[in-house]
Amino acid sequence: MKQILTDVYWLLGQGFDCNVFIIDSRQESIMIDTGAGSVLNQRFSTASSNIETLKRAIDTKRIKHIFLTHGHIDHIGGILSLQSEVDCMISASSEEALQLSSGNSPYLDPIMNSTCSPLKITKKYDEGDTIAVGDYNFQVFETPGHTKGSLSLYEPEKKILISGDTVFPQGSFGRTDLPSGSSSELLKSLERLSNLEIHVLLPGHMPPVISQSPLNSVKDSFRNAQMMLSYY
């Protein structure tokens, strides 16, 4: 677990885990995505999942809110490992909440099709909502394409984008061939994000990018996606 910005910590996604970000203000903590937890890691005998590392690194009782960028198992599975010790709000988009509450395995885990227990989403976020934690005030953006209900968070003052699996560093972007994925929707989402001024990109996979000046990375992703996806 590494501190990357004031009050922001990052746990690298390894194996089946996505990146996990914790914003730990003095009053409360918010966790963004959870990694796969033991669901896949145990099945494939990975030595230790993100969640185990997380439990050693922070007092999980301080987590008051788990925000899910989308419903894929490598982003949500860790909730099952945390549920017994954390009593907090769990949020996602209305669309992903629908899939999570039904335990729709092909949607939640399209690769391995693991059994997914239904998950109760206690708060739904949609376009235009805001999330405040410490000195950070995030705007919720609906960014469909990787999944229909994918969300991104943008902090306009600090120019931070938390992008889930919609956009990755180095001009890459999320796949669109999984259930509810859409290349045309992803292109629209990338175009929108590419118009934002972004200095910090916190993606669902690959290391974060942190700069004092505007990044071209998301613009590159949009350009690459235009070339690769416009036939769909």
- Which residues from 160-179 bind Zn ion, rule CB under 5 A? 165
The values of phi and psi at residue 24, to 5°, are -115, 90
- Smallest separation, CB 178 to Zn ion (Å): 7
* Strands, sheet with 29-32, edge to edge from the N-terminal-most edge strand: 2-5, 8-11, 20-24, 29-32, 63-67, 89-93, 123-125
Query: Closest separation between CB of residue 137 and Zn ion, Å?
Result: 26
The span of 31-39, 43-51, 72-80, 214-222 binding Zn ion (CB under 5 A) equals 72-80
Buried b (16+ CB within 10 A) or exposed e, 1-24: eeeebeebbbbbbbebbbbbbbbb
Size of the site for Zn ion (CB under 5 A): 2
Structural element, H or E, at residue 52: helix 50-57
**Residue 232: Cβ within 10 Å count:** 11
Does the footprint of Zn ion cover residue 72 (CB under 5 A)? Answer: yes
Using the contact rule CB under 5 A, the part of the chain among 2-10, 66-74, 112-120, 121-129 near Zn ion is 66-74
Q: Does 148 contact Zn ion by CB under 5 A? A: no
Binding of Zn ion by 95 (CB under 5 A) = no
Of 88 and 151, which CB lies nearer to Zn ion in the complex structure? 151
Residues making contact with Zn ion (CB under 5 A): 72, 165
